[in-house]
Amino acid sequence: MSKNWPLWEIFVRSKNGLEHRHFGSLHAADAEMALVNARDVYTRRSEGVSIWVVESKDITASNPEHNGELFEPAQDKVYRHPTFYDLPDEVKHM
């Protein structure tokens, strides 16, 4: 058995209406403890109103070695950004 508790990724919603954002990670024996630890480690300065915890091993991440084939082809396709439209003045916050 590993001596360390498993690692958990912590997502916190900072206020209602906003999405949960990744805040960091911590160790805990199970999900319940991860929640309690996250409360103490990440929300003690009123940073949040809701917490999600996910065990790190359950996250599938892209391999940085594949960054070239995954992400570079998109870099010269500026036409995929919706920047070629004239926005009417009435439309705000775009």
Q: Of 6, 17, 18, 1, whose CA–CA distance to 53 is shortest?
A: 6
Cβ–Cβ contacts within 10 Å for residue 81, how many? 7
Q: Which residue number, 1 or 94, has a Cβ lying nearer to other proteins? A: 1
Question: Is residue 49 close enough to count as binding other proteins by CB under 8 A?
Answer: no
Q: Which residue number, 27 or 71, has a Cβ lying nearer to other proteins? A: 27
E runs forming strands in 14-78 = 20-27, 50-55
Q: Which residue number, 22 or 91, has a Cβ lying nearer to other proteins? A: 22
Site residues (CB under 8 A) for other proteins? 5, 26-29, 32-33, 36-37, 40-41, 44
